Amino acid sequence: MAAAEHNPLLDGLRLRRRPDGCILVIFGASGDLTSKKLIPALYSLAVRQLLPEHFGIVGAARTEESDDQFRERMKQAVQEHARDEFEQEVWDELAAGMHYITLDFADDKRENKLRDVLTKLDEERGTGGNRVYYFAVPPSAIGTIVDEIAARRVAEGWIRLIIEKPFGHDLQSARDLNTRLKEHFAENEVFRIDHYLGKETVQNMLALRFANGIFEPIWNRQFIDHVQITVAESIGIEGRAGYYEQAGAIRDIFQNHLLQLVAITAMEPPIDFTADSVRNEKVKVLKALQTPGPKHVIRGQYGAGFVEGEEVRGYREEEGVAPASMTETFVAAKLYVDNWRWADTPFYVRMGKRLARRETTIAIQFKRAPHPPFEDAAAEGLRPNVLLIHVQPNEGVSLAIGAKVPGQGMTIRTVHMDFLYGGAFREGLPEAYERLILDAMLGDATLFTRSDEIEEQWALVDAIVAFWQRDRPSFPNYASGTWGPATSDELLHRDGRSWRRH
């Protein structure tokens, strides 16, 4: 019943304008990303009438499939993975403009067929030559596709390229890919996607800091003791050994998701919320990050154990993983942002597979009160204030404060003031891909990474990987279902701190 009640927090809100008519072409349409995320996201946008009035979808991949087979497979995907109830009328309208092309760019005839389908869709759907190309393909395939798109670019209409991670494998490959893109396309036509930036709570970090006068004055080294960022997954590699053996945790999550969370937490106030203003401030943070020394970076690999009561095997026993693999599945680090706001304030970050539970949190721990007169009366030792941002799975914000226990005497306990999106707005949160796909259609690049951001992130990762090559730790060094190797705890214990157990 609560969902049907009037919610005053939604009063006065206006829907965003709908994008111009366009065709979304998905390269790699036979993969899980398309069926589990992209098409369900498009369906949810269609439910809310946020898609262009004139719109078409073309799936392209090497797998042989007909239009009807593709539509039926995507219908099942929407029924299984979309956040909205399935409505046949909405689906029929979306599917009417949906086509599939079996494509190999080594075959000119197949490429010409794609061009013909796009031309026909322009005529049928009134899309005016506007294109959004989504690259759900390995980095090695991106360059060839980019060249082909540029060679067949039509005069009318705009083009936008959405490129999935990983964007390169190291700094040099990322630079090479950026150079290749810049040969044909302007920076404002390239949208490097990091789905974490589409999460409501990540965006709420900007609102929390810059729309509230109580936080920004204390968001600095004078008041904040340290910051902890955790990106924990309870799952393993989910059959992706071929990719993960090459990437490891540092390229899979640390290089993109985790460093973006650091940048958003530490950035200076932008002059406005346009794409370049926000991204300029994030780049400054990435440039100011000191390269951590070997003692300040921990890596781990999970062994067998129990996750949520279920016995699971170790990384080296996963299918497709080398028996003596040295690929890391866990990374923890102590980072410093070398600028005026954050000098000498540590950012402790960690991420890993097969940890105790799935959660992504940003914890801002403030310095202790300098002289509380009732410290001896505190029931459990007076704890410092902590602002905890829950990115997933339960999106919201929590503030830990000291409060008096009812009754006689001055007894203090830590209590929490909680804000949960689901409870406050009583409306399902949009999936990250909904927001990001819509933004790309609108030409808004605020939540996408820029070329210089990518290169700064890779520069830090390359420096860490370089000194890893000089030693070989003993793997596996943590059991599945735990919070990582013991050395991760020691990283904080040396500073008289410890990881939060949320």
Q: How far is CA 103 from CA 19, 39, 153, 255, 452, in A?
A: 28, 19, 18, 31, 32
pLDDT band at residue 431, thresholds of 50, 70 and 90?
confident
Place of tokens 């689906």: 91
Q: How far is CA 499 from CA 230, 312, 320, 364, 491, in A?
A: 9, 25, 33, 12, 9
Residues 6 or more apart whose Cβ sits within 8 Å of residue 449 = 167, 192, 194, 197, 256, 260, 279, 457
386 domain residue, yes or no: no
> What is the predicted pLDDT for the residue at 11?
46
> What is the predicted pLDDT for the residue at 496?
94
**Which amino acid type is present at position 277?**
S
On whether both 147 and 211 belong to a single domain, the answer is no
On whether both 28 and 79 belong to a single domain, the answer is yes
CATH number of the domain within which 245 lies = 3.30.360.10
HEC per residue, 51-72: CCCCEEEEEEECCCCCHHHHHH
21 domain residue, yes or no: yes
On whether both 135 and 233 belong to a single domain, the answer is no
On whether both 229 and 159 belong to a single domain, the answer is no
> What is the predicted pLDDT for the residue at 381?
59
Taking only the tens place, the pLDDT of each residue in 147-203 is 888 888 876 789 999 999 889 899 999 999 999 999 999 999 999 999 888 888 788
Q: Residue 283 sits in which domain range?
A: 197-368+422-432+450-493
Q: How far apart are CA 417 and CA 399, in angstroms?
A: 5
As for how many domains the chain has, the answer is 2
Query: H helices within 382-427, ranges in order?
Result: 421-425
CATH number of the domain within which 13 lies = 3.40.50.720
439 domain residue, yes or no: no
On whether both 474 and 328 belong to a single domain, the answer is yes
β-pairing verdict for 310-312 and 305-307:
antiparallel
Closest C-alpha to 451, from 280, 331, 261: 280
pLDDT value at 477 more than 60:
yes
In contact, 384 and 265? CB cutoff 8 Å = no
404 domain residue, yes or no: no
Identify how many contiguous H helices and E strands the chain contains and give both numbers: 15, 18
Q: Which of 108, 143, 164 is the C-terminal boundary of a domain? A: 164
On whether both 227 and 84 belong to a single domain, the answer is no
pLDDT band at residue 444, thresholds of 50, 70 and 90?
very high
Q: How far apart are the first and last CA of the chain?
A: 31
On whether both 353 and 474 belong to a single domain, the answer is yes
Q: Is 313 helix (H, G, I), strand (E, B) or coil?
A: coil
pLDDT value at 32 more than 70:
yes
Share of the chain above pLDDT 70, in %: 90
On whether both 30 and 89 belong to a single domain, the answer is yes
On whether both 233 and 95 belong to a single domain, the answer is no
Taking only the tens place, the pLDDT of each residue in 231-280 is 999 999 988 898 899 999 999 999 999 999 999 999 999 998 889 999 99
Q: Is 274 helix (H, G, I), strand (E, B) or coil?
A: coil
pLDDT band at residue 106, thresholds of 50, 70 and 90?
low
On whether both 112 and 252 belong to a single domain, the answer is no
> What is the predicted pLDDT for the residue at 427?
58
Mean pLDDT of the region 53-76: 94
Q: What is the pTM of this model?
A: 0.89
Angle (CA) 344 349 355, round 5°: 155
pLDDT value at 405 more than 80:
no
Closest C-alpha to 135, from 256, 24, 26, 252: 26
Strand partners, 306: 311
Closest C-alpha to 457, from 230, 166, 234: 166
183 domain residue, yes or no: no
What strands lie across the sheet with 386-392, from one edge to the other? 297-300, 330-336, 346-352, 224-232, 359-366, 386-392, 396-404, 412-420
Taking only the tens place, the pLDDT of each residue in 69-100 is 999 999 999 999 999 999 999 999 999 999 99
Q: How far apart are CA 117 and CA 326, in angstroms?
A: 46
On whether both 225 and 87 belong to a single domain, the answer is no
pLDDT band at residue 291, thresholds of 50, 70 and 90?
very high
pLDDT band at residue 4, thresholds of 50, 70 and 90?
very low
Q: How far apart are CA 54 and CA 244, in angstroms?
A: 39
pLDDT value at 104 more than 50:
yes
Which pair of structure tokens corresponds to residue 428? Answer: 């399902």
Closest C-alpha to 430, from 47, 28, 23, 13: 47
HEC per residue, 336-387: EECCCCCCCCEEEEEEECCECCCEEEEEEEECCCCCCCCHHHECCCCCCCEE
Mean pLDDT of the region 492-496: 95
pLDDT band at residue 1, thresholds of 50, 70 and 90?
very low
Q: How far apart are CA 295 and CA 334, in angstroms?
A: 9
Residues 6 or more apart whose Cβ sits within 8 Å of residue 452 = 283
The answer to whether 371 is a known catalytic residue is no
Q: How far apart are CA 459 and CA 174, in angstroms?
A: 10
On whether both 92 and 151 belong to a single domain, the answer is yes
pLDDT band at residue 321, thresholds of 50, 70 and 90?
very high
Q: Which of 164, 185, 211 is the C-terminal boundary of a domain? A: 164
> What is the predicted pLDDT for the residue at 12?
45
374 domain residue, yes or no: no
> What is the predicted pLDDT for the residue at 393?
83
pLDDT value at 25 more than 60:
yes
Share of the chain above pLDDT 90, in %: 67
Q: How far is CA 500 from CA 365, 414, 470, in A?
A: 10, 14, 31
> What is the predicted pLDDT for the residue at 108?
58
Place of tokens 């799936």: 59
> What is the predicted pLDDT for the residue at 391?
87
Mean pLDDT of the region 452-463: 97
> How many CA within 13 A on the CB side of residue 420?
9
Options 257, 371, 390, 416, the catalytic residue: 257
156 domain residue, yes or no: yes
> What is the predicted pLDDT for the residue at 420?
79
pLDDT value at 424 more than 70:
no
**Which amino acid type is present at position 37?**
K
> What is the predicted pLDDT for the residue at 192?
95
Q: How far apart are CA 13 and CA 259, in angstroms?
A: 32
Q: How far apart are CA 338 and CA 290, in angstroms?
A: 7
351 domain residue, yes or no: yes
Mean pLDDT of the region 3-27: 68
Taking only the tens place, the pLDDT of each residue in 325-382 is 999 999 999 999 999 999 999 999 999 999 999 999 999 999 987 766 655 555 455 6
Mean pLDDT of the region 382-387: 85
